[in-house]
A and B are shown apart, each in its own frame.
Chain A
Amino acid sequence: MSNSLTLEKLLLAPVVAFLLVFYVGPIGFDLWASVRSEGGAVSAAGGFVGFAHYASLLSDARIWSSAGVTLVFTVTVVIATYVVGLVAAMTLNRKFFGRDVIGSLLLIPWTMPLVVAAVVWGWLLDYQFGIVNYLLEKSGLISQPIGFLTDPDVALTSVGAAQVWRLFPLAMVTLLAALKAIPQELYEAAAIDGANRWQSFWSVTLPSIRSTTTALVLLIAIWAFGRVFTIVFVMTGGGPAGATETLVIATYLEAFRYFRLERASALGAMVLAISVILTLLYLRASRDRSK
């Protein structure tokens, strides 16, 4: 067994070292910055302010509003991306004419540069010139243009849709790989037991892709919660009136609009802490279920 341990260390040590430098280091820097006074992150002249920034963030109504927006955004993006990806993957797992072509085409959202995707979606949904509003009005479905990006009640759905559009190919490809690994015998056995398509989906397909599902859902959730930025920012900038201001965008605004890098670091540290806690809970829950 010591052989295994050595191999384990050999394979993992370099990666651990790398991650310590490139991620834990910056986290350390940000934690340090978060307890410094304004302007004190990189200059020795600043002072130590303890948890002042954290306290001010927690009593800031805007930040709580951002938290709410982030929660809704994360949950809907995760579910929608997974479902769309799964449907696409299951479709591609069957044989049909043109499947290879369709499969390749469905990857295209993934190949579009983020900024371009955001700009194009912005045009499509533009209030006065967008083609979506034009078609809807022309076909008589609506009488006034819809403020896809200008109506606070609709904007989050719009950016969510753009985000899902961009993310689903990853889900599709990952799930397809997992679907392919399911042995045919399991389906045959279920069929013999009298299961119809729906039942075999629940009893064979879903359980077999559990580990991939867990990893994928966690991945998308972490992203939607703590990393997604470009599409939302380019499409709405966090507006209108804060309707799409996620915590990530709020962090960016703190650093580059309010020039409060220290407060932004505190916010980032809190987002990180929440992500870690939620992840640990999630992993524990999924590990328990698979026992």
Chain B
Amino acid sequence: MTEANEAKAGFGTAVVATLATLVLLFPAYWMVITALQGDSAIFAYPPRFWPTDLNADALWSALKTTNVGRWLANTTIVAGVSTLFVVPVAALTAYALSRFRGKVASFSALLIVVSQMMPPVLLLVPYFILFRELGLLDGLLGLILANFAWALPVSAWLMKAAFDGVPHDLEEAALIDGCTRFSAIWRIALPLALPGIAASAVFAFISAWDEYFFARTLIADSSKWVVAVGLGSFVGDYSVSWQQVMAVATISTLPPAILFMLVQRAFVSNLSAGAVKG
């Protein structure tokens, strides 16, 4: 392609992509707009596309009257710590599954796939009993463990695909040259599989951030609530102020969104990784 054509194609792509993105983001726009309006906005008729009377009252009152700050702190701890542990464990597991084909590996692969098929509803009672016996009820540690359990199979599965995409040759070469296996993993396989691993880490974080079912089951003390449960406490109550709900929702969307912005370089932007030369 000539440079001029490339530029034109680039511009065309930018326009289409922007329009598509705007349409796709409409629900997010609606969430934010509702947070900035008067109470009956959602039942207003006719609905206003561009509301004129915006105010940030709901955001301030949400921050003051609900425990959003505490919820965010709890959620950050639970999501952060569980992801921190899931990533290395899942990565090593994924590496093993990708490179080894023995009986243990096949059995593990089967377990990992089957684990993801459990309808979460049926895990509620067993987990409640299990965590009660382990004395983990009503503490963030229990929730961290539950989220770890939730994310592990999926992360391992996604990371395995990432490792599968990295050819064995380089590692074999390194091993023959006298490298230890761990060194080979750390210096060769890992960097090449990094985009997939990063994607999977982000996914684990988001799942933990979002998680409602187990958080509700395993925590009784409202000071340990995570954001998902806090939000859930609004839905279905007739005294709910919808703009406050959306305000809390907007606030709780910000940390993962910001995290994404920072981390997206690892998989959206152009990384030098990819080409296996020579």
Contact = CB atoms under 8 A, between A and B. Distances in A.
Interface of A: 4-5, 7-9, 11-16, 18-27, 29-30, 41-42, 91-92, 94-100, 102-117, 119-121, 123-124, 128-131, 134-135, 165, 170, 173-174, 176-178, 180-185, 211-212, 214-216, 218-219, 222-223, 225-227, 229-230, 234, 247-248, 251-252, 255-256, 261, 264-265, 268, 271-272, 275-276, 279
B95 A11 contact: yes
A276 B114 contact: yes
B119 A226 contact: yes
B111 interface: yes
B212 A181 contact: no
B5 interface: no
Interface stretch (B60-68, B136-144, B191-199, B217-225): B191-199
A26 B126 contact: yes
B91 to A, nearest CB: 10
Given A111-B260, A128-B45, A215-B157, A104 B268 contact: yes
A80 to B, nearest CB: 13
B136 to A, nearest CB: 12
Contacts of B43: 129
A104 B264 contact: yes
B105 A8 contact: yes
A276 B181 CA distance: 33
B210 interface: yes
Interface of B: 9-11, 13-14, 16-18, 21, 24-28, 30-31, 34, 42-47, 49, 89, 92-93, 95-97, 100, 102, 104-105, 107-108, 111-123, 125-127, 129-130, 149, 152-154, 156-158, 160-162, 164-166, 181, 192, 195-196, 198-200, 202-203, 206, 209-210, 212-213, 227-228, 231-232, 235, 245-246, 249, 252-253, 256-257, 260-261, 264-265, 267-271, 273-277
* Top 3 A-B residue pairs of the complex, sorted by shortest distance between their CB atoms: A177-B195, A103-B268, A26-B126
Contacts of B111: 16, 19-20, 23-24
Contacts of A218: 113, 157
B95 to A, nearest CB: 7
B274 A181 contact: yes
A177 B160 CA distance: 13
B252 A113 contact: yes
A122 B96 CA distance: 43
A112 B115 contact: no
Contact of A94 (B10, B158, B165, B209): B10
B48 to A, nearest CB: 8
A128 B61 CA distance: 29
B121 A229 contact: yes
B117 A222 contact: yes
A96 B30 contact: no
A18 B152 contact: yes
A219 B210 CA distance: 18
A185 B203 CA distance: 31
Contacts of A114: 210, 212, 228
